[in-house]
Structure 1
Amino acid sequence: MAYTELDRERWVAEDPAHKRADRDDFARDRARVVHSAGLRRLAAKTQVLAPGHDDFVRNRLTHSLEVAQIGREFGAALGCSADVVDTACLSHDLGHPPFGHNGETALDEIASRIGGFEGNAQTLRLLTRLEAKRAHPDGTSAGLNLTRASLDATTKYPWARGEGPYETNKFGVYSSDLSVFHWLRDGAAPGVRCLEAEVMDWSDDVAYSVHDVEDAIASGWLDPRVLHSATDMSAVLDVAGRTYAPDLARDALGAALERLLASGVLPAAYDGSRGALAALKDMTSRLIGRFVLVVELATRERHGPGDLTRFGADLVIPDEARAECSVLKAVANHFVMTTDERLGILSGQRDVVRALVEAYAAQPESRLDADLRLDFLAAGTDDERLRVIVDQVASLTDVRALALHRQWGG
């Protein structure tokens, strides 16, 4: 199924003079995200370990670039527009606040009376409202004004809070942004993701499941010998079943671990030498190739040859691949994210987020960034004003959040 004019439509019609004849609509979308302030800010936002902790480990920007590399080739192999998938992958974490999912938890509590906070819903808000590129005739912002296909591809959870097709706290749109959500979902069945969004989501899962383990080993948080210990890995399997794959039996997760060990890709030891680093990089390459290829083959087996796009197909992820990916996620969770040391850091980060919201609310006209100050002054209700303050705190990098916290006496 080819991309249609509906797929290429933008929320606000643009002057044809702005469009180069030799440039595809979807390539323009990708360029707008690459040049966005939101993407640049990801360089100083937490992935797993905070920026500055180690020169090797990833931040949100490097993670997004790697997801885009995986997704671009994966999507193209299925017949998707490589630029649409690339745009979605680059954009998928734009809405994340400082301190990653930990900051997201704090902002969700603070914003509970106004519909909460969710990084995916914030991404849509950023792309369609907060980033400066195009405006509606009445002067209100249309954000980057991406095409319908690209916006829909970034929408991992195409529903409002509490309206998902399965039990989840995740959602992709705030009530204040429903107008653009309904526009971009024109022609889509409720709750059904387009293929490009599914490709983005699997590319993200693959990237962080593999790279978080690589970072944990390279930074010294994880001794790879424990990966071969039945006692240590029993706790990991508990985390995998509880947190990442509750629908899969423990035996299935245990079999996934056995397959990963039998494949020979997981290192037996790590000493930081160039040879050990090369082995670690080989692990990431082989695991990524393994996870992408098995899903590509399963999807082709169901849908056959030809270009697969939008709602003409769905991604097929075998349970075996999902189980292996879940085990790797659980490794980083158990050995890095939920250690006693990390839990203490996480608590302090949530305190910083709460203090910053209070500080901005105390002096909004002097402390808010200029664009958000105007949003605050134009807001008609306390709920709208709180949403602007949440937008401001969500935009902060880890570095700026900590600096402002110190400056304002936190």
Structure 2
Amino acid sequence: MGDDAPKDGTGTAREAAAAIRARIGLGREPRAVFAVDPDHSRGRLVAEPESPTRTPFQRDRDRIVHSTAFRRLAHKTQVFIYHEGDHFRTRLTHTIEVAQIARALARALRLDEDLAEAVALGHDLGHTPFGHAGERALDRAMARWGGFDHNAQTLRIVTKLERRYAGFDGLNLAWETLEGLVKHNGPLADPQGRPLPHHGVTPAELPYPIRDYGRSNDLWLWSQPSIEAQIAAVADDIAYDAHDIDDGLRAGLIDLDALEELPLVGPALREVRERHPDLSRPRVVQEVTRRVITRMVEDVIREALRRLGDAEPESADAVRRLSGPIATFSEEVAAADKAIKAFLYRHVYRSEPVMEVMRAVEQVVEELFARFFEDPAAMPTEWCAGLDPTDEAQRARRICDYIAGMTDRFAALEHGRLFDATPVLR
């Protein structure tokens, strides 16, 4: 799509819909000049009439919430799998927490709150069962065909795999929402289209779903994302830090005293203990969690305002053309974020109780992939229909889509159906 080529009907129709939205108060709050303007969206790949009662990004948010992939997040692992406790976070509860933080940041910076929320709600749709362990296993299984990346799989879900509408596959989201889902963590390629390093490694090529979709819609992979997408990414970091500490404490993998020397968290803990010396442990944990979130959110707002003052972008596209992000932590809090993640990596994500389960679930995913690759007919009829028996890449991608969409529980049940013994996932 070109910069000035909206695809949602005629300009007159768009103006009429925008006028109705203005009369009923939608979008009445003044946005900053650098915010994305829903009335000037680049549009949708498949043209649709505009809604007179919802902005394009409100519609996108609603489509994501009503999608099958979104519902499945309720039964996908965040850190602890589904039967380890009812109060641990799932991928869905994590997503809702990210959306709440993103919306708060968007309001403070006078951005489009609906776009920020839509990106936050959709950012994890592509996750496999069993969290990052399932992703690692599926990435290994797909190594011959470009690997697996959950952000790329999110794009595949919202542009191909969801089948709810008569006129198109996927959700037909607006350009700005797709852009945010694909590159909320930053640019993916240089201006010549060459992939940028990811976790210190430069891939030979971009993930298949992104290359495939890029043939029909240019998402400016070389540019910075909108600030709305940037805050969805930093909200994800904030939610991970605060809530995984909470879940680690709840699981008994972390002791409260071990947090004393951790930046941000330690000062919050000491403050709570000094002010409320007789507070019960669960309430101490809750008070520490909310203080950490508040301080990280306020830091992002201050740093974003400082960077905006330096850069003075006059439009959302001016933000995209900057050399670095706007919505990010200050140097001090970025260092604290890094220390918190390293602490969680050692004491939670790579703790032996968690790793024992993760090794078992990786085995489940790897064995499912191998079985379906050997015998695609073991999948439901609609998943193996139309496969070319000579096209291994097509078969692998179909199997990958099927497994990635599974919930934890369904993956375990499928393994139990196909194998004599399933690893104990507890």
Q: What TM bracket, shorter-length normalisation?
A: 0.7 to 0.9
| Aligned counterpart, 1:278 | 283
Distance 1:268 1:391, change over 3 A: farther
**For 1:6 and 1:365, how far apart are their aligned partners in 2?**
47
Distance 1:296 1:379, change over 3 A: farther
Task: Give the aligned residue type for 2:230.
Answer: E
| Aligned counterpart, 2:18 | none
**For 2:194 and 2:279, how far apart are their aligned partners in 1?**
49
For the Cα contact (< 8 Å) 1:46–1:60, is it kept in 2? yes
**For 2:289 and 2:55, how far apart are their aligned partners in 1?**
33
Query: Is the aligned partner of 1:210 residue 2:237?
Result: no
Aligned residue for 2:41, secondary structure, equals helix
| Aligned counterpart, 2:177 | 150
TM-score, normalised relative to structure 1 = 0.81
Superposed displacement of residue 274, structure 1: 8.3
Aligned residue for 1:75, secondary structure, equals helix
**For 2:271 and 2:217, how far apart are their aligned partners in 1?**
42
Superposed displacement of residue 336, structure 1: 1.9
For the Cα contact (< 8 Å) 2:43–2:174, is it kept in 1? yes
Query: Is the aligned partner of 1:337 residue 2:339?
Result: no
Q: Deviations over 1:151-170 (max 9, x none)?
A: 11112354379711565459
Query: Is the aligned partner of 1:69 residue 2:103?
Result: no
| Aligned counterpart, 2:413 | 403
Superposed displacement of residue 5, structure 1: 5.9
Query: Is the aligned partner of 1:174 residue 2:207?
Result: yes
Query: Is the aligned partner of 1:377 residue 2:377?
Result: no
Superposed displacement of residue 86, structure 1: 0.7
For the Cα contact (< 8 Å) 2:77–2:131, is it kept in 1? yes
Superposed displacement of residue 264, structure 1: 3.7
Distance 1:74 1:408, change over 3 A: same
**For 2:165 and 2:259, how far apart are their aligned partners in 1?**
50
Distance 1:318 1:198, change over 3 A: same
| Aligned counterpart, 1:254 | none
Superposed displacement of residue 200, structure 1: 0.8
| Aligned counterpart, 2:370 | 358
Task: Give the aligned residue type for 2:97.
Answer: E
| Aligned counterpart, 1:9 | 43
Higher helix fraction (1 or 2): 1
**For 2:296 and 2:388, how far apart are their aligned partners in 1?**
48
For the Cα contact (< 8 Å) 1:79–1:309, is it kept in 2? no
**For 1:201 and 1:379, how far apart are their aligned partners in 2?**
40
Q: Structure 1 regions of 5+ residues with no counterpart?
A: 234-256
Task: Give the aligned residue type for 1:407.
Answer: R
Aligned residue for 1:52, secondary structure, equals helix
| 1:287-366 equivalence runs, <5 A | 287-304=292-309, 309=316, 311-312=318-319, 314-366=326-378
Q: CA RMSD in A?
A: 3.0
Q: Deviations over 1:250-276 (max 9, x none)?
A: xxxxxxx3554234468779xxx9833
| Aligned counterpart, 1:242 | none
**For 2:120 and 2:142, how far apart are their aligned partners in 1?**
27
124, 127, 138: which one pairs with 1:107? 138
Superposed displacement of residue 325, structure 1: 1.8
Percent of aligned positions that are identical: 31
Aligned residue for 1:277, secondary structure, equals helix
Superposed displacement of residue 184, structure 1: 5.1
Distance 1:74 1:52, change over 3 A: same
Distance 1:394 1:369, change over 3 A: farther
For the Cα contact (< 8 Å) 1:134–1:145, is it kept in 2? no
| Aligned counterpart, 1:244 | none
Q: Structure 2 regions of 5+ residues with no counterpart?
A: 1-32, 422-426
Superposed displacement of residue 78, structure 1: 1.5
TM-score, normalised relative to structure 2 = 0.78
**For 1:377 and 1:55, how far apart are their aligned partners in 2?**
40
**For 1:265 and 1:146, how far apart are their aligned partners in 2?**
46
226, 231, 254: which one pairs with 1:222? 254
**For 2:211 and 2:39, how far apart are their aligned partners in 1?**
22
Superposed displacement of residue 308, structure 1: 7.2
Superposed displacement of residue 107, structure 1: 0.8
Task: Give the aligned residue type for 1:194.
Answer: S
Superposed displacement of residue 277, structure 1: 2.1
